[in-house]
Amino acid sequence: MFLQPRTWDEALDDRAHHPDALPVAGGTDVLVDINVGRAHPDAVLDLTRVPSLREWSTGPDGARIGACVTYTELIAGFARPLPGLVMAARSVGSPPIRHRGTIGGNLGSASPAGDCHPPLLASGASVEVASVRGVRTVPVREFFLGPKRNALAADELISTVCAPAATGPQVFTKVGPRNAMVIAVCSFALALDPRRGVVGTGMGSVGPVPLVADGAAHFLEDHLEAAGLWRSREPLDPSVVGRFAELVVGAARPIDDVRGTAAYRRHALHVLARRSLQWCWDDYCGGAT
Amino acid sequence: MKVTVNGAVHHADVEPGESLLHLLRERLGLTGTKNACEQGECGSCVVLLDDVPVCACLVLAGQADGMTVTTIEGVAGPQGLHPVQQAFVDAGAIQCGFCTPGLVLATIDLLRHTPAPTDDDVREALAGNLCRCTGYQQVIEAVRLAARRSA
């Protein structure tokens, strides 16, 4: 059965009546599973014809991004409000993959390596999910339950990603064998929010789910506050940058797998965390907020 | 489903999990679109779907219902090869030829949006197209040549 709803209500109805139908947006993950024989769907729920899922808007408070907005569209539309997410979107696959792959599909697949996840975690984004029973909002940090498992109930679909607009520097960094076509060996996202004095982090491919490093974030928040650095914009002491990176690595739970060893991931994550903080802080000192 | 491929309308009954690549090659006999990795890693199956380059192996056939597809078979005109194809021939950018259809379609899309690409533009646009003969230098020269000729 090939279900192709034309409205959001129709999609939720299809989802409720056919909970075994495999939801598909851009298909860049789902089709891989089908092609290699990991998935044998008798029924598919194609979400690409639901107009509301293709919509997005940005305002002073942040962005609302429909689940079927592609990486290409993210890159074109969100450089100002969500620079970290745009850096991540730009690192996905190749142009043909970015033209098809979507932010909702990335969340739905819930891979620990999904590139959208670290910047969404770092910026404190949330996911709107819906069913015929109603709508609820799930913070991204509560959305991932395990490798490729997320908080969606059997009758729910992702409708929208809501992310606050950046008020300071954001970066996304990623390690892989080449620049393109890389599933992250590990990745890291950092978001500085000078208005609220908040530091946000996100890490990919270093645990069973995308992770945050709250201990590192709080350490840095306390230091920036106590030393008055948000206001003075003076350089960070290298020992602070090093301690931040250590705390980030301490929050990681990597394993050995085909893409890298746990030890390598810890090493690489330390480098990514250090560089990310240095780049963000240099950016902040340069006045670019 | 109904799909327009290279200007011709086709009707087909497809399986729910069937890829656009399978439809093109096995049902419509358009074997110019190559089947290699089936994971979006190699770019051998790149086609233009409503003028957007996509990996046909990662699109469900049913998702292309009502849309237009351009495969390598639809690129040449009555006058002969497409300028990008001719540039690939002239630059020696073809060795075994398996990656060529995907590279040509990806290049056509690149030059449509970026008529005078830098080498970095070319490398980024073609990053998802693997050539196992490793003839990348000639490919980049072919793109430069095609861009120069259409300037």
CB contact B46 to A (< 8 Å): yes
CB contact A96 to B (< 8 Å): yes
Residue A240 makes CB contacts below 8 A (sequence gap 6+) with A220, A223
What whole-number distance in Å separates Cα of residue B4 and Cα of residue B71? 11
- Percent of chain A at pLDDT exceeding 90: 96
CB contact B23 to A (< 8 Å): no
Helix, strand, coil distribution of chain B in percent, nearest 5: 40, 15, 45
- Percent of chain B at pLDDT exceeding 90: 99
Could A28 and B40 be called an inter-chain contact, meaning their C-beta atoms sit closer than 8 Å?
yes
Minimum CA–CA partner of A180 in chain B? B127
| H-helix or E-strand spanning residue A174 | strand A170-175
Could B128 and A2 be called an inter-chain contact, meaning their C-beta atoms sit closer than 8 Å?
no
pLDDT digits (tens, 9 = 90+) for A85-102: 999 999 999 999 999 999
pLDDT digits (tens, 9 = 90+) for A203-221: 999 999 999 999 999 999 9
Minimum CA–CA partner of B53 in chain A? A96
pLDDT of A188 strictly over 60: yes
pLDDT recorded at residue A118: 98
Listed by number, the residues of chain A in 133-192 with a beta carbon closer than 8 Å to a beta carbon of chain B are 179-181
- N residues, chain A: 289
Q: How far is CA B98 from CA B90, B93, B133, in A?
A: 17, 11, 9
pLDDT of A289 strictly over 70: no
Helix, strand, coil distribution of chain A in percent, nearest 5: 40, 25, 40
ipTM above 0.90, yes or no: yes
Could B39 and A35 be called an inter-chain contact, meaning their C-beta atoms sit closer than 8 Å?
yes
pTM score over 0.90: yes
Minimum CA–CA partner of A45 in chain B? B16
Measuring CA to CA, which residue among A220, A103, A91, A111 is closest to residue A161? A103
Chain B nearest C-alpha distance from A7 (Å): 15
8 Å CB contact between A81 and A163: yes
pLDDT recorded at residue A287: 62
Within 13 A of A281's CA, how many CA atoms are on the CB side?
A: 23
A50, amino acid identity = V
Q: What is the DSSP letter of A40?
A: -
Measuring CA to CA, which residue among A114, A147, A99 is closest to residue B40? A99
Could B60 and A27 be called an inter-chain contact, meaning their C-beta atoms sit closer than 8 Å?
yes
What whole-number distance in Å separates Cα of residue A32 and Cα of residue A21? 17
